[in-house]
Amino acid sequence: MTDINPSPETAAQHKVKMEKKKAARDKIMASKTEARGLIIVHTGKGKGKSTAAWGLALRAMGHGQKVGIVQFVKGEWETGERTVLEERFSDLCQIRALGRGFSWESQDLEKDIAAAQGAWDATMQMMSDESIDLVICDEINIAFRYGHLDPKTIVGELMQRRAGLHVVLTGRNAPEELVEAADLVTEMTLIKHPFRSGVKAQAGVEF
């Protein structure tokens, strides 16, 4: 992020450098041949874990693929995304909101565990629906973190999904078992946050 811009160069030098770069990149891309369903994890303390999952949903639907979303924790994205997905993508997108609030909103461990298990059951149903190409388990890592779901069991079931199905799992504190099993793991790191300087959460940006 703090890289200094490249030193000035002539147009000719630039052209040669970029030709080399393109050749190297083309060669790398040509070596990638396997197509398979991926396990994708968005974790870390920064913003954008769920938001990037909606972006992936949008991208998949742009290719005419169908998406299933299970919400393991309620309250984080009630208003914006869900409304627009239900109103404009009812043909391509199923949403099941089965989580209870964040644990600090609830205080009833048994109900939290039952809700998390119900959300996982809904995920399993979506994973077995062959019309669905991408399943998003939103904030499932919170359920692991509080011991509402067992990572080993869930990862075992994930690994038995049908070929070609992509699954995205979000939330901070992704358990090690999941990171081990995943194909693509991105950590979102907070560098700077407006809450720190007294700005309130705003519709359209924060929720």
Write out the binding residues for its own copies, residues 37-56 only, by CB under 8 A: 38, 40-44, 46-48, 50-56
Nearer to its own copies, 128 or 173 (CB): 173
CB of 193 to its own copies, least distance (A): 6
How many residues bind its own copies (CB under 8 A)? The answer is: 100
The reply on whether position 162 binds its own copies by CB under 8 A is: no
The reply on whether position 131 binds its own copies by CB under 8 A is: no
User: What strands lie across the sheet with 67-73, from one edge to the other?
Assistant: 39-43, 166-170, 134-138, 67-73, 93-100
CB of 72 to its own copies, least distance (A): 16
Q: Which run of H or E residues covers position 169?
A: strand 166-170
Cα-based distances in Å from 79 to 5, 58, 123, 168? 41, 17, 22, 21
CB of 158 to its own copies, least distance (A): 15
Q: Are 171 and 145 in contact (CB under 8 A)?
A: yes
Cα-based distances in Å from 122 to 116, 169, 187? 10, 14, 26
Which x/- pattern over 75-94 shows residues binding its own copies (rule: CB under 8 A)? --x-xxxxxxx--xx-----
CA pair distance 32, 35, nearest whole angstrom: 9
The reply on whether position 200 binds its own copies by CB under 8 A is: yes
What is the length of the chain? 207
Among 119, 136, 144, 169, binds its own copies (CB under 8 A): 144
Residues 14-33 that bind its own copies (CB under 8 A): 14-15, 18-19, 21-22, 25, 28-29, 31-33
The reply on whether position 202 binds its own copies by CB under 8 A is: yes
CB of 157 to its own copies, least distance (A): 18
CA pair distance 80, 77, nearest whole angstrom: 6
Residues 165-194 that bind its own copies (CB under 8 A): 166, 172-176, 179, 182-194
CA pair distance 30, 33, nearest whole angstrom: 7
Nearer to its own copies, 54 or 119 (CB): 54
